[in-house]
Amino acid sequence: MKITSIVNLKGGTGKTTTSVAMIELLSRKERVLGIDNDKQGNLSQAFKRYTPERMIGSSVMLLTGKTRGNILHTENPYIDIIPCNIYMEKAEKEVLLGNVAQHDRYQKALSELVGYERCIIDNPPDIGMNVVNALIASDEIIIPINLDNYSLDGMVEMMSQIQNITEINRKANLTGILITDFEKTEAALQAEEWLRKEYGKRIFSIKIRHSRQAKDATLCQVPVTQYSSRCGATQDYKKFIEEYLRRER
Ligand SMILES: Nc1ncnc2c1ncn2[C@@H]1O[C@H](COP(=O)(O)OP(=O)(O)O)[C@@H](O)[C@H]1O
Ligand SMILES: [Mg+2]
């Protein structure tokens, strides 16, 4: 099972939208496990599997090393998910109080899983113990960025923080940086130029266009790629998957 973490330490950069789109598009060929690692539970909502009440049956339990009983089926037979909710905050504090090894719990729990070709982990905009765990379990990392959202500030620090964590144990590849929610303004074009100069081939050549349908899809709790097959964001996410799979080979 190939494990990919979608990460950015800032909020609103398209992490969840990208995770959900990747899960849905990849599920057309493979069995995919989606993990919601953000206590806001947006990925869980996108697959209609959010519940605020319990911590059993969520990624909170991954932190305690248990996968069994936490995986939920969705309406799509090729997609299962491990949801998340506010209990993650409490679990993280508890884990920090214990003094046994804490950073490889996801890795251990996920290594026992069979039946999935892919696992996509949607992360929150911070580096808590759950994110450290996700990064250490991951084979690769994708960073979505939104050029309009002060995303370029702190980019360098973020890259080095991520690198430090992945070096603790196993080196995850930075597969790439994906520009999301793109609107063609002079400022955005300048930001893109800077980014491509700075990070070169690490930036995916495809960009995800801003589409109203991406937001509408969240209200209906479905992936945008399912909500609208024709909107710009869906077309771009499809091309992104092609580029992503080409890079893999
Ligand atoms: N391509 C897009 N077009 C329009 N809106 C988008 C697009 N991508 C993301 N959004 C919207 O931007 C907001 C933040 O996206 P989200 O994926 O939730 O970011 P994050 O998970 O990084 O916080 C959401 O309201 C989402 O619907
Ligand atoms: Mg999110």
Ligand 1 within 6 A of 6 CB? no
Measured CA to CA, the distance from residue 85 to residue 83 in angstroms comes to 7
Per the structure block, which two tokens stand in for 72?
């939920």
Can you list the alpha helix ranges (DSSP code H) found in 33-141?
A: 42-46, 59-63, 87-97, 105-111, 129-137
Residue type, 23: I
State the pLDDT at residue 34. 98
Ligand 1 within 6 A of 151 CB? no
Q: Which residues surround ligand 2, an ion (CB under 5 A)?
A: 15-16, 42
Instruction: Quick: pLDDT tens for 140-194.
Output: 999 999 997 677 777 888 888 888 887 776 667 778 999 999 999 999 999 999 9
Number of domains making up the chain: 1
Among all ligands shown, which has an atom nearest to the Cα of 218? 1
Q: Residue 42 CA: which ligand 1 atom is closest?
A: 18
Range of the domain at 64: 2-248
More confident residue, 56 or 132: 132
Instruction: Quick: pLDDT tens for 46-91.
Output: 999 998 887 666 788 888 777 777 899 999 999 999 999 998 888 8
Measured CA to CA, the distance from residue 192 to residue 186 in angstroms comes to 10
CATH number, domain of 87, equals 3.40.50.300
Measured CA to CA, the distance from residue 124 to residue 146 in angstroms comes to 15
Instruction: Quick: pLDDT tens for 188-235.
Output: 999 999 999 999 999 999 999 999 999 999 999 999 999 999 999 999
Beta bridge partners of 5: 121, 141
Q: Residue 180 CA: which ligand 1 atom is closest?
A: 1
